[in-house]
Amino acid sequence: MTEEKEAPPAPEPTAAPAAPAEATPEAAASPPEEVVSVPDDLGADKGDAAGDDKPRRVRARRAATPPPAEKPRERKPRERRPRDRRPRKEGGEVTAVGAAPMRRARVYKQDPVEGIEPGPPPPPEPTPEEIKAQKAKDQTQTTLILHPAPKAGGHVKKKKKAPKTAKEVMAAKAKGKGTPKKPKKESKAEAKLDPSWVGADADGAVEALTAAGAAAEKLVSAWLEGENLAAIAAGAASDSLSGKPRKAVRRAASVLRSRGVELPEVASAAPAQEGETAEAPVATFVPPDATGTAFISISQRQPGGRYLVADCVARHGVGVVRASQGRLAGKKIRAWKERIEKDYGASPVEVPLDWARARIQEAKETNAKSGAIMPLGFDSCAALFQPVPDEAPPHPVDDLVEAEADTAAIEKATADSERLHGYPEFRSWMPDKNSIDELLAKVGEAVGSEDAAGDPEKVNAALKAEVASATDRFFTPELRKAVAAWMKDAAIGVRSRIGDDDAQHVLRVAKAVEEAGLITSPPNEIPFLQTFFQKAIAYVVSQNQGQLRVPVPGAQAQV
């Protein structure tokens, strides 16, 4: 065992000792240091004899002292930054916890934090009895589910299936998977057959089929069952039938012939008797409208009762614009006239045949001058449009034209010319749209401002003045000459409907229109011409629900 020696004393410092520092609580609590000498075992491995005096290492060792008692650590609240997902108020304050729904499925407990109020406690869990009662209640109530309207353009159209090829259609039919035919709708009430129709003979067959109407097919079936061959033969040979009755009776006759059944001959149903010829052609005419478009038709009754009809539409300055030819049954003539009246505004009237053919030839020559293409159907109408007379025949109302014009009669007719627009022949006579737009623009310039447009008296005065000016601008000398000729053609229809006096009244007004001038007798002094624009303005007002929109310079657009 080595002997402990005391460490040599430390040398005294030459400097003056510093003032002792104030003892801190930590320094006072620390234990005093103890100096311990430790033997130096560095030379033990070299075989040194034990007990020899060797230099010693000196180290300081603290005495073991019991650790002080642990005090509870104080936890300082840490500041939490509100998350962005929590809603904020206008002032920037964070809403309380629980005021807004949380996105997380779970909410963990946490210590209270300054500035954040705890949310309401969760509701208590329902008892099994309450759950059972709620389920029973839900089963007896109807739930209404509301959903937002679909977004515009969000609907995606399904792609249409490509049509089947011929090979696919044939394969589907072979397998019996073809598209089934839609069942025919049954008639609401079955048509009843009159016993007299079923027993009709050859003379009454056509009349019975016509009277049967929708039951014509059923009547033909009854004839087949009863072997009424005379009625079937008479119906099949008649040209006066049309539609389903004609088709049904002719099909029945074909079926009987295919079976080898001989039908009786019907002498009265022959296409034409020996020596029977077609009747003389008849020409009809519809007077021109405000654009100079007139309708001319020539028809001829053929042996057997059907009509061969050829129609021609001619326009002033253009020529023939349409031509067609066809055949009509006798009872279809009335429907044909009604259709023409609906399309052209007036019923066709009969005119001399030579005059009609001369007008068609004149329109054909106009095509060569204007360069308009001749319609394809014009050549098929040559059988009725020809022969053309060598000299132009007189106009149908030339006999009403006065040899010497009576000035007083013309002035009287001119003053009363406004009523002519009530006739069907003049009902559609109005200026074109460009002239109406120009008239309204002039009215807006005359009014001057948007404030003045609210004054009815000023607007009416400007409108009246501009109507007179527009009448003088529109009816040029060339147009006045053409209008006078169209009025002469319109007198044909007036004469046929009313009489010679009214037709002569139209001719006198036409004379005044033709002789009008810009200085002596301007067009605006003729009520018939000025009514053109008055009717057009009334038509525009009716189309705009009682409003007349006048463009005023500088006015703000209404949205």
Domain identity same for 427 and 380: no
CA-CA-CA-CA torsion sign (223, 224, 226, 231): positive
Q: Of 242, 269, 296, which one is at a domain's C-terminal end?
A: 269
Q: Rounded CA gap, 131 and 231, in Å?
A: 85
Domain identity same for 203 and 246: yes
Domain identity same for 483 and 402: yes
Most trustworthy range by pLDDT among 68-72, 81-85, 223-227, 303-307? 223-227
Does pTM top 0.75 for this prediction? no
The gap from C-alpha 6 to its chain's centroid, in whole angstroms, comes to 119
Domain identity same for 407 and 538: yes
Q: Is position 181 within any domain?
A: no
Contacts 24+ apart (CB under 8 A), 331-334: 331/240, 331/242, 332/242, 333/299, 333/307
Nearest to 550 by CA among 438, 440, 434: 440
Q: Which residues of 381-410 are buried (b: 16+ CB within 10 A; e: fewer)?
A: beebbeeeeeeeeebbbeebeeeeeeeeeb
Is the pLDDT confidence value at 408 over 80? yes
Could you tell me which residue, 360 or 45, shows the higher pLDDT? 360
Domain identity same for 265 and 373: no
Q: Is position 98 within any domain?
A: no
pLDDT for 281-328, tens place per residue? 999 999 999 889 999 999 998 887 788 999 999 999 999 999 998 888
pLDDT for 489-538, tens place per residue? 999 999 999 899 999 999 999 999 998 877 778 888 999 999 999 888 88
Structure tokens at 306: 């059907």
pLDDT for 334-352, tens place per residue? 888 888 988 888 889 999 9
Strands 33-38 and 57-62, by their bridges, are antiparallel
- Looking at residue 193, its pLDDT comes to 77
Is the pLDDT confidence value at 468 over 80? yes
Q: Is position 557 within any domain?
A: no
- Mapped onto helix, strand or coil, the DSSP state of residue 110 is coil
Domain identity same for 209 and 255: yes
Domain count, the chain: 3
The gap from C-alpha 361 to its chain's centroid, in whole angstroms, comes to 44
Structure tokens at 82: 């509100």
Quick one: average pLDDT of 246-263?
Answer: 86
Q: Is position 118 within any domain?
A: no
- Looking at residue 164, its pLDDT comes to 80
Q: What is the mean pLDDT of the chain?
A: 76
Nearest to 426 by CA among 506, 541, 543, 546: 506
Q: Is position 213 within any domain?
A: yes
Nearest to 202 by CA among 236, 178, 173, 160: 236
> Are the beta carbons of 459 and 443 closer than 8 angstroms?
yes
Q: Is position 175 within any domain?
A: no
Domain identity same for 408 and 486: yes
Residue 59: Cβ within 10 Å count = 8
Q: Which domain range does residue 237 map to?
A: 195-269
Q: Of 269, 295, 312, which one is at a domain's C-terminal end?
A: 269
Domain identity same for 327 and 462: no
Q: Rounded CA gap, 94 and 475, in Å?
A: 82
Q: Of 353, 385, 417, which one is at a domain's C-terminal end?
A: 385
- Looking at residue 188, its pLDDT comes to 41
Is the pLDDT confidence value at 23 over 50? no
Which of 154-158, 211-215, 322-326 has the weakest average pLDDT?
Answer: 154-158
Residues near 535 by beta carbon (within 8 Å), at least 6 away in sequence: 421, 429, 430
pLDDT for 199-208, tens place per residue? 888 878 888 8
Alpha helices in 123-228 (DSSP H): 128-139, 166-175, 195-198, 205-212, 216-226
Domain identity same for 420 and 511: yes
- Mapped onto helix, strand or coil, the DSSP state of residue 444 is helix
Q: Is position 553 within any domain?
A: no
Domain identity same for 536 and 406: yes
Could you tell me which residue, 24 or 130, shows the higher pLDDT? 130
Most trustworthy range by pLDDT among 269-278, 360-369, 520-529? 360-369
Q: Which residues of 421-436 are buried (b: 16+ CB within 10 A; e: fewer)?
A: bebbbbeebbbeeebb
Q: Rounded CA gap, 113 and 48, in Å?
A: 72
- Looking at residue 106, its pLDDT comes to 57
Q: Is position 29 within any domain?
A: no
> Are the beta carbons of 239 and 330 closer than 8 angstroms?
no
Which of 59-73, 120-134, 334-348, 508-522 has the weakest average pLDDT?
Answer: 59-73
Domain identity same for 414 and 526: yes
Domain identity same for 404 and 507: yes
Report percent pLDDT > 90 for the chain.
21
Quick one: average pLDDT of 174-182?
Answer: 58
Quick one: residue 263, left, alpha or beta (phi over 0 = left, psi -120 to 50 = alpha)?
beta
